[in-house]
A and B are shown apart, each in its own frame.
Chain A
Amino acid sequence: MDLGQLFAIIIGAIFVSNFVLSRFLGLCPFVGVSKDPASALGMGMAVIFVMTMASLVTWFVYVFVLEPLGITYLRTIAFILVIATLVQFVEMVIEKTSPALHKSLGIYLPLITTNCAVLGVAVVNVDDFIIADLPKTASFIYTVVHGLSAGVGFTLALVLMASIRQRLQLGDVPKSMQGIPITFIVAGLMAIAFLGFSGLKI
Chain B
Amino acid sequence: MLSVVAKSMLTLSGMAALFGAILAIASKAFAVYRDPKVLAILEVLPGVNCGACGFPGCQGYAEAAVAAGEIPTACPPGGNDVAGRVAEILGTEAGEIMRKVAVVHCSAGISNSVQRLKYDGIEDCRAAMLVSGSAKACIFGCLSLGTCKTVCPFDAVELDQEGIVHIDRDLCTGCGKCVDACPINIMELVSIDMRVHIRCSNHDKGKAAKAVCEVSCIGCQLCVKKCPSDAISMDGNLAVIDYSKCTNCGVCAAVCPTNAIIDEVKARPKAVIGRGCVGNGKCKEVCPVKAIEGEPGERHEVIGTKCIGCGVCLSVCPTKSISMVGALGHQRGR
Contacts and interface: CB of A to CB of B under 8 A. Distances in A.
Contact of A71 (B11, B22, B27, B32): B11
A85 B12 contact: no
Give the secondary structure class of B's interface.
helix
Interface in A57-73: 61, 65-66, 69-71
A95 B29 CA distance: 12
B190 to A, nearest CB: 32
B30 A95 contact: yes
B222 interface: no
Given A65-B15, A78-B12, A95-B32, A71 B26 contact: no
A96 B11 contact: no
Give the secondary structure class of A's interface.
helix
A65 B26 contact: no
B4 interface: yes
A92 B19 contact: no
B23 interface: yes
A89 B19 CA distance: 9
Contacts of A172: 122
Interface residues of A, number: 21
Contacts of B16: 81
A93 interface: yes
A200 interface: no
A66 B7 CA distance: 10
A82 interface: yes
A178 interface: no
A93 B22 CA distance: 12
B8 interface: yes
A85 B19 contact: yes
Contacts of A82: 15, 19
Given A71-B4, A71-B7, A82-B19, A92 B30 contact: yes
Contacts of B8: 71, 74
A100 to B, nearest CB: 13
A77 B22 contact: no
A104 interface: no
A66 B8 CA distance: 9
A65 B30 CA distance: 28
Interface in B13-35: 15-16, 19, 22-23, 26-27, 30-32
15 contacts: A65-B11, A65-B15, A66-B11, A69-B7, A74-B11, A77-B12, A78-B12, A81-B12, A82-B15, A85-B23, A92-B27, A93-B30, A95-B30, A95-B32, A96-B31
Interface of B: 4, 7-8, 11-12, 15-16, 19, 22-23, 26-27, 30-32, 122
Given A82-B19, A93-B30, A170-B122, 9 more contacts: A74-B11, A81-B12, A85-B23, A89-B22, A89-B26, A92-B26, A92-B30, A93-B26, A172-B122
